[in-house]
Amino acid sequence: MADTSDTRNPAQIEADIRRRRETLAETLDEIGVRVHPKTIVGDAKAKVVSNIDHTLGRAYVGVNQAVSQVRAQFVDEEGSPRLERIVPVALVAVGLVGLLAFGARRRKD
């Protein structure tokens, strides 16, 4: 059989009860804050903002990598432009703009 005798005096028992009440009150206060609608809404907003920040961060990294890859096609390691690649792209762009201008002008007539 286990020994269940308590060797504490009444003052020690009262102090223990007081500490337990304070701990219980703190726990109930924490629970009250956690289940309060404003806290729940605030937590939900924070989670959404965190997800958006994470998504935007990933998008930024992806765009940055794409820009770096495109830049590498038109600029060499030393930072000099690669004219053998820029000139054909520029000619195609000028041709497309010319075709669009010609088509718009033709529709007006």
β-strand partners of 81: 75
What does the pLDDT read at residue 103? 86
62-84 pLDDT, tens digit per residue, is: 999 999 998 888 998 888 998 99
What does the pLDDT read at residue 4? 61
Q: Where are the domains of the chain?
A: 10-74, 81-109
Q: Which residues of the chain have pLDDT under 50?
A: none
Residue 38 zone, left/alpha/beta (φ > 0; ψ -120 to 50; rest): alpha
What does the pLDDT read at residue 3? 57
What does the pLDDT read at residue 108? 74
Cβ-Cβ contacts under 8 Å for 86 (sequence gap 6 or more): 74
81-91 pLDDT, tens digit per residue, is: 989 989 999 99
Sign of CA dihedral 86, 88, 94, 96: negative
Q: Radius of gyration (Cα) for the chain, nearest Å? A: 36
pTM, two decimals, is: 0.46
Residue 98 CA to residue 104 CA, distance in Å, equals 10
What does the pLDDT read at residue 48? 95
What does the pLDDT read at residue 16? 95
Structure tokens at 6: 């308590």
